[in-house]
Chain A
Protein backbone atom coordinates (compact mmCIF):
# COMPACT_ATOMS: atom_id res chain seq x y z
CA UNK A 1 0.00 0.00 0.00
CA UNK A 2 1.22 3.50 -0.84
CA UNK A 3 2.03 5.72 2.09
CA UNK A 4 0.37 9.07 2.58
CA UNK A 5 2.84 11.79 1.52
CA UNK A 6 1.54 14.35 4.02
CA UNK A 7 1.53 11.98 7.00
CA UNK A 8 4.98 10.69 6.06
CA UNK A 9 6.37 14.23 6.01
CA UNK A 10 4.37 15.36 9.05
CA UNK A 11 2.47 18.05 7.10
CA UNK A 12 -0.68 18.90 9.03
CA UNK A 13 -1.79 21.93 7.04
CA UNK A 14 -1.63 22.08 3.25
CA UNK A 15 -0.92 25.66 2.23
CA UNK A 16 -2.28 27.05 -1.04
CA UNK A 17 1.01 28.95 -1.52
CA UNK A 18 3.12 25.80 -1.30
CA UNK A 19 3.32 25.33 -5.05
CA UNK A 20 6.23 22.88 -4.95
CA UNK A 21 4.04 20.38 -3.15
CA UNK A 22 0.75 21.12 -4.90
CA UNK A 23 2.28 20.70 -8.36
CA UNK A 24 3.25 17.13 -7.50
CA UNK A 25 -0.43 16.24 -7.36
CA UNK A 26 -1.43 17.75 -10.69
CA UNK A 27 -1.54 15.90 -14.00
CA UNK A 28 0.21 17.37 -17.08
CA UNK A 29 -3.16 18.94 -17.96
CA UNK A 30 -3.20 20.60 -14.50
CA UNK A 31 -6.07 18.44 -13.27
CA UNK A 32 -6.10 17.23 -9.67
CA UNK A 33 -4.90 13.64 -9.49
CA UNK A 34 -7.34 11.07 -8.21
CA UNK A 35 -6.89 9.46 -4.83
CA UNK A 36 -5.99 6.25 -6.56
CA UNK A 37 -2.95 7.97 -8.06
CA UNK A 38 -1.94 10.15 -5.12
CA UNK A 39 -2.30 7.38 -2.55
CA UNK A 40 -3.07 9.88 0.21
CA UNK A 41 -5.82 9.60 2.81
CA UNK A 42 -9.34 10.84 2.03
CA UNK A 43 -9.00 13.60 4.60
CA UNK A 44 -5.74 14.86 3.11
CA UNK A 45 -7.09 14.50 -0.42
CA UNK A 46 -9.91 16.89 0.52
CA UNK A 47 -7.41 19.34 2.05
CA UNK A 48 -5.20 19.03 -1.02
CA UNK A 49 -8.10 19.69 -3.41
CA UNK A 50 -9.10 22.78 -1.39
CA UNK A 51 -5.52 24.11 -1.40
CA UNK A 52 -5.20 23.58 -5.17
CA UNK A 53 -8.53 25.32 -5.79
CA UNK A 54 -7.48 28.29 -3.65
CA UNK A 55 -4.17 28.44 -5.47
CA UNK A 56 -5.96 28.41 -8.83
CA UNK A 57 -8.25 31.22 -7.72
CA UNK A 58 -5.25 33.39 -6.87
CA UNK A 59 -3.63 32.67 -10.23
CA UNK A 60 -0.75 30.70 -8.74
CA UNK A 61 -1.76 27.49 -10.51
CA UNK A 62 -3.62 27.07 -13.80
CA UNK A 63 -7.10 25.60 -14.20
CA UNK A 64 -6.08 23.95 -17.45
CA UNK A 65 -2.78 23.37 -19.21
CA UNK A 66 -2.38 22.03 -22.70
Chain B
Protein backbone atom coordinates (compact mmCIF):
# COMPACT_ATOMS: atom_id res chain seq x y z
CA UNK B 1 0.00 0.00 0.00
CA UNK B 2 1.12 3.51 -0.76
CA UNK B 3 2.59 5.35 2.19
CA UNK B 4 0.63 8.35 3.35
CA UNK B 5 3.25 11.08 3.50
CA UNK B 6 0.78 13.64 4.79
CA UNK B 7 0.42 12.05 8.20
CA UNK B 8 4.00 10.87 8.48
CA UNK B 9 5.71 12.38 11.50
CA UNK B 10 9.05 13.94 10.60
CA UNK B 11 12.32 13.03 12.25
CA UNK B 12 12.94 14.73 15.60
CA UNK B 13 9.20 14.85 16.48
CA UNK B 14 8.77 17.93 14.30
CA UNK B 15 6.20 18.04 11.56
CA UNK B 16 5.92 20.11 8.39
CA UNK B 17 3.20 22.76 8.42
CA UNK B 18 2.12 25.45 6.02
CA UNK B 19 0.64 28.76 6.96
CA UNK B 20 -1.34 30.48 4.22
CA UNK B 21 -2.44 34.00 5.11
CA UNK B 22 -4.37 36.96 3.78
CA UNK B 23 -3.25 40.39 4.93
CA UNK B 24 -5.73 43.26 4.91
CA UNK B 25 -5.42 45.37 1.71
CA UNK B 26 -5.09 48.56 3.81
CA UNK B 27 -1.37 47.85 4.34
CA UNK B 28 0.83 50.04 2.14
CA UNK B 29 2.66 48.20 -0.63
CA UNK B 30 6.08 49.09 0.82
CA UNK B 31 5.10 47.81 4.29
CA UNK B 32 3.88 44.40 3.14
CA UNK B 33 7.35 42.85 3.18
CA UNK B 34 7.89 44.13 6.74
CA UNK B 35 4.55 42.67 7.84
CA UNK B 36 5.43 39.34 6.23
CA UNK B 37 8.77 39.34 8.03
CA UNK B 38 7.04 40.15 11.33
CA UNK B 39 4.65 37.23 10.79
CA UNK B 40 7.57 34.95 9.97
CA UNK B 41 9.38 36.08 13.11
CA UNK B 42 6.26 35.29 15.13
CA UNK B 43 6.19 31.76 13.69
CA UNK B 44 9.93 31.33 14.28
CA UNK B 45 9.51 32.47 17.90
CA UNK B 46 7.63 29.21 18.49
CA UNK B 47 10.77 27.29 17.50
CA UNK B 48 9.82 26.73 13.87
CA UNK B 49 12.42 26.06 11.19
CA UNK B 50 11.53 27.72 7.87
CA UNK B 51 11.50 25.55 4.74
CA UNK B 52 10.09 27.75 2.01
CA UNK B 53 7.86 30.76 1.60
CA UNK B 54 6.23 33.10 -0.86
CA UNK B 55 5.97 36.78 -0.09
CA UNK B 56 2.45 38.22 -0.09
CA UNK B 57 1.05 39.72 -3.25
CA UNK B 58 -2.21 41.56 -3.77
CA UNK B 59 -4.92 39.31 -5.17
CA UNK B 60 -8.56 39.78 -6.02
CA UNK B 61 -10.62 37.55 -3.74
CA UNK B 62 -13.08 35.15 -5.33
CA UNK B 63 -15.84 36.48 -3.06
CA UNK B 64 -16.36 39.23 -0.54
CA UNK B 65 -14.97 38.33 2.88
CA UNK B 66 -16.06 39.58 6.23
CA UNK B 67 -13.62 39.97 9.10
CA UNK B 68 -13.75 41.62 12.49
CA UNK B 69 -10.72 43.89 12.77
CA UNK B 70 -10.33 45.89 16.00
CA UNK B 71 -13.91 45.02 17.04
CA UNK B 72 -15.23 46.41 13.76
CA UNK B 73 -16.81 44.33 11.06
CA UNK B 74 -15.12 44.99 7.73
CA UNK B 75 -15.58 43.65 4.21
CA UNK B 76 -12.78 42.84 1.78
CA UNK B 77 -12.61 42.07 -1.92
CA UNK B 78 -8.82 42.11 -2.17
CA UNK B 79 -6.00 40.98 0.09
CA UNK B 80 -2.29 40.18 0.18
CA UNK B 81 -1.94 36.42 -0.09
CA UNK B 82 1.29 34.72 0.98
CA UNK B 83 2.38 31.45 2.52
CA UNK B 84 5.13 30.03 4.70
CA UNK B 85 6.20 26.41 5.08
CA UNK B 86 8.03 25.37 8.22
CA UNK B 87 8.98 22.58 10.61
CA UNK B 88 7.33 22.80 14.02
CA UNK B 89 6.72 20.74 17.12
CA UNK B 90 3.08 19.54 16.85
CA UNK B 91 2.45 20.48 20.48
CA UNK B 92 3.11 24.16 19.75
CA UNK B 93 0.73 24.43 16.81
CA UNK B 94 -2.36 25.17 18.88
CA UNK B 95 -0.55 28.04 20.65
CA UNK B 96 0.61 29.42 17.30
CA UNK B 97 -2.93 29.19 15.96
CA UNK B 98 -4.30 31.13 18.92
CA UNK B 99 -1.61 33.78 18.55
CA UNK B 100 -2.32 34.24 14.84
CA UNK B 101 -6.05 34.55 15.54
CA UNK B 102 -5.34 37.70 17.59
CA UNK B 103 -3.65 39.52 14.69
CA UNK B 104 -5.48 42.56 13.37
CA UNK B 105 -3.53 42.50 10.10
CA UNK B 106 -4.91 39.17 8.93
CA UNK B 107 -8.25 38.69 7.23
CA UNK B 108 -7.85 34.91 7.36
CA UNK B 109 -5.17 32.29 7.74
CA UNK B 110 -4.92 28.58 7.11
CA UNK B 111 -2.58 26.39 9.14
CA UNK B 112 -2.29 22.90 7.65
CA UNK B 113 -0.10 19.82 7.71
CA UNK B 114 1.83 19.32 4.51
CA UNK B 115 4.92 17.63 3.06
CA UNK B 116 8.47 18.94 2.89
CA UNK B 117 8.97 19.06 -0.86
CA UNK B 118 7.30 21.34 -3.34
CA UNK B 119 3.64 20.46 -3.76
CA UNK B 120 3.03 22.71 -6.73
CA UNK B 121 2.93 20.62 -9.87
CA UNK B 122 4.11 22.11 -13.11
CA UNK B 123 1.51 23.18 -15.62
CA UNK B 124 0.48 20.29 -17.79
CA UNK B 125 -2.14 20.31 -20.50
CA UNK B 126 -5.23 18.43 -19.40
CA UNK B 127 -7.08 16.14 -21.77
CA UNK B 128 -4.36 16.35 -24.41
CA UNK B 129 -1.51 14.25 -23.09
CA UNK B 130 -1.27 12.53 -26.45
CA UNK B 131 -0.19 14.30 -29.60
CA UNK B 132 -2.96 15.77 -31.72
CA UNK B 133 -3.97 13.36 -34.47
CA UNK B 134 -2.82 14.65 -37.83
CA UNK B 135 -3.98 11.83 -40.06
CA UNK B 136 -7.55 11.16 -41.10
CA UNK B 137 -9.14 7.85 -41.95
CA UNK B 138 -10.50 7.36 -45.45
CA UNK B 139 -13.80 5.56 -46.05
CA UNK B 140 -12.02 2.28 -46.73
CA UNK B 141 -10.19 2.48 -43.39
CA UNK B 142 -6.77 3.44 -44.74
CA UNK B 143 -5.11 6.49 -43.25
CA UNK B 144 -4.70 9.58 -45.39
CA UNK B 145 -1.77 11.90 -44.63
CA UNK B 146 -2.65 15.60 -44.26
CA UNK B 147 -2.51 17.57 -47.50
CA UNK B 148 0.54 19.76 -48.04
CA UNK B 149 -0.16 23.45 -47.58
CA UNK B 150 1.27 25.85 -50.10
CA UNK B 151 1.40 29.18 -48.29
CA UNK B 152 2.07 31.24 -51.43
CA UNK B 153 -0.96 29.80 -53.16
CA UNK B 154 -3.21 30.52 -50.16
CA UNK B 155 -1.90 34.10 -49.96
CA UNK B 156 -2.69 34.60 -53.63
CA UNK B 157 -6.21 33.22 -53.17
CA UNK B 158 -6.85 35.51 -50.18
CA UNK B 159 -5.59 38.52 -52.11
CA UNK B 160 -7.84 37.62 -55.01
CA UNK B 161 -10.85 37.36 -52.70
CA UNK B 162 -10.06 40.69 -51.05
CA UNK B 163 -9.63 42.47 -54.39
CA UNK B 164 -12.94 40.96 -55.58
CA UNK B 165 -14.72 42.32 -52.50
CA UNK B 166 -13.16 45.76 -52.94
CA UNK B 167 -14.15 45.82 -56.62
CA UNK B 168 -17.72 44.86 -55.73
Q: Is the interface of A mostly helix, strand, loop or mixed?
A: loop
Residues of B contacting A11 in the complex (Cβ-Cβ under 8 angstroms): 121
Binary flags per residue of A15-34, CB closer than 8 Å to B gives 1, else 0: 11110110010000000000
Contact indicator B121/A18 (Cβ below 8 Å): yes
Distance between A43 CB and nearest chain B CB, rounded to angstroms: 8
A3 to chain B, nearest CB (A): 9
B80-105 residues with Cβ-Cβ distance < 8 A to A are 81, 83
Alpha-carbon distance between A62 and B115 when the two chains are bound, in angstroms: 26
Residue of B nearest to A12 (CB): B5
Are the CB atoms of B5 and A58 closer together than 8 Å?
A: no
Partner of B22, one of A13, A59, A61: A59
B1 to chain A, nearest CB (A): 11
Flag whether B119 is at the interface (Cβ < 8 A).
yes
- Judging by beta carbons under 8 Å apart, are A59 and B112 in contact? no
Chain A residue with Cβ nearest B20: A58
Q: Would you call A13 and B6 a contact (CB within 8 A)?
A: yes
Contact of B126 among A5, A13, A18 (CB under 8 A): A5
